[in-house]
Amino acid sequence: MNSLRHGNLRLIALAGIILGVLVLAFAVVAPGALAAPTCLPDAEGANDEPGQKDLTQVCTDYGGYPELNIVWQWDDTGSSGANSLDACSLFDSDGDGNANYALCASTTGSPATLNTSTVYTCNDANPDRCSGYAAMATPPAYSCEVASPVPDDPFTDGDEYPNDAVATCSIDLSGFGESVILLDVCSYPSNPGSDPSDCIVRAASGSQLIVRKITEPPGAGHIFDFEINTEPVTQFTLSHGASYATAPDLADGVYTITEVRDAGENDWTTSIECDNGVSVPADANTVEVTLAGSPVTCVFTNTAGPVSVNLASFTAESKPDHILLSWETVTEVNNLGFNVFRADTVAGPRLQVNAALIPSANPGSTQGASYSLQDFNVVAGNHYVYWLEDLDTAGTRTLNGPVKVQFVGPTSVGLNSFTAAASSVPALLALGGVGLAALAGAAASRRKRN
């Protein structure tokens, strides 16, 4: 009887291990945005509006494009009575700089909690409000939540520092069209169509430069460097759909905005349009803008050229003593080979994993190939981020990814991919079901024999 009891306990323990592995597999496979968010503090600084009207910053994450994760903050932690904290993110879908859509959130109570969130259509008349607002009959998939107090105020002299009330929303931008730009996040005293109280990006007045970026195809995961010839020089980076705004106190005069390309970006073309009528349709990366007391917005559109490698998949899988990097190509026209890079975080320094260039298996071919690389320089329990770089015959380097994985040791089934490949979770669950069924059968057989 004791041997039966101990045998069953061993089977139960083994079943628990299988279930634990499956839960871990689901947690690692579940999709999520991999890019680090970009945050932009209020262009007009702290306390530019009183109390519940004041916004402090907006953060955006396009890593899961076309899903946008957007966060904005109020310089207050709640409201009393019938008052509320109200703000909207405004979107331009036709490139004219005016709002076509808005995603709005309103709070109640103190500390603030979400009261309502709504997607509106706008009549394309203003850049800082949703004029003619009407609730969208069939909005794209979206969600919002509000947390307060959150110790993340970017301004040390802000009200209730370091605490803010924070709205966190996600929305599927494909429901707004192909080339959608986030114009701004503004607070409102009454409704989304009213005169805004405070806007994060565009100042109410003053000489200010606003730079926005679009990539074609939309959401291409490339980040470009920019410079503005202020004193000292203003430097920043932008990915698809992101914006940068200077403070509204630039001296009137002529300014140069430059998109700084490195050697691996020469296959991209650029066109530039500014809302003061200046446009640079040719493949140039610089525009001159004259400021005279009001904001000017310039949109840089980057179009990707032909690629030497058409990548089908790139995955990272944790094995008992290493992480296995695997990738598959569809075509490899003009491809010389590959490099793999690793970092602890998306924003961390990247180290090359392979000692020498991994040569193309089909150079110049319209056929693809499969590749793999083992990374043994990993520590159990740590998370890692990997990128795959392809190098073509012209010397152009293209970075693909990233993918994330946790190295967890002998029971690891961690897997993630930047492609939209079919999920392996159902197969894993089915395999787990077979394993559990086999254990149950073994237990039943043991009871019969004893």
* Tens digits of residue pLDDT in 129-187: 999 999 999 999 999 999 999 999 999 998 899 999 999 999 999 899 877 889 999 99
* Tens digits of residue pLDDT in 214-243: 887 766 557 788 999 998 999 998 888 788
* Tens digits of residue pLDDT in 236-285: 988 887 889 998 889 999 999 999 876 556 667 889 999 888 888 666 78
Q: Which two tokens mark 168? A: 């966190």
pLDDT at 267: 66
**Cα–Cα distance, 185 to 201 (Å, whole number):** 7
* Tens digits of residue pLDDT in 281-329: 666 789 999 999 989 999 998 887 666 787 888 999 999 999 999 999 8
422 pLDDT tier (thresholds 50, 70, 90): very low
Tokens 């024999």 sit on residue? 449
Tokens 């329990």 sit on residue? 381
pLDDT at 403: 86
**Cα–Cα distance, 218 to 222 (Å, whole number):** 11
pLDDT(399) > 50:
yes
Helix (H, G, I), strand (E, B) or coil at 63: strand
Closest CA to 15 of 406, 392, 390, 443: 443
351-356 mean pLDDT? 94
Task: Give the full edge-to-edge strand order of the sheet including 370-375.
Answer: 370-375, 323-331, 310-318, 415-417
- Three-state SS for 141-196 is CEEEEEEEEEECCCCCCCCCCCEEEEEEEEEEHHHHCCCCEEEEEEECCCCCCCCC
pLDDT at 118: 98
pLDDT at 6: 45
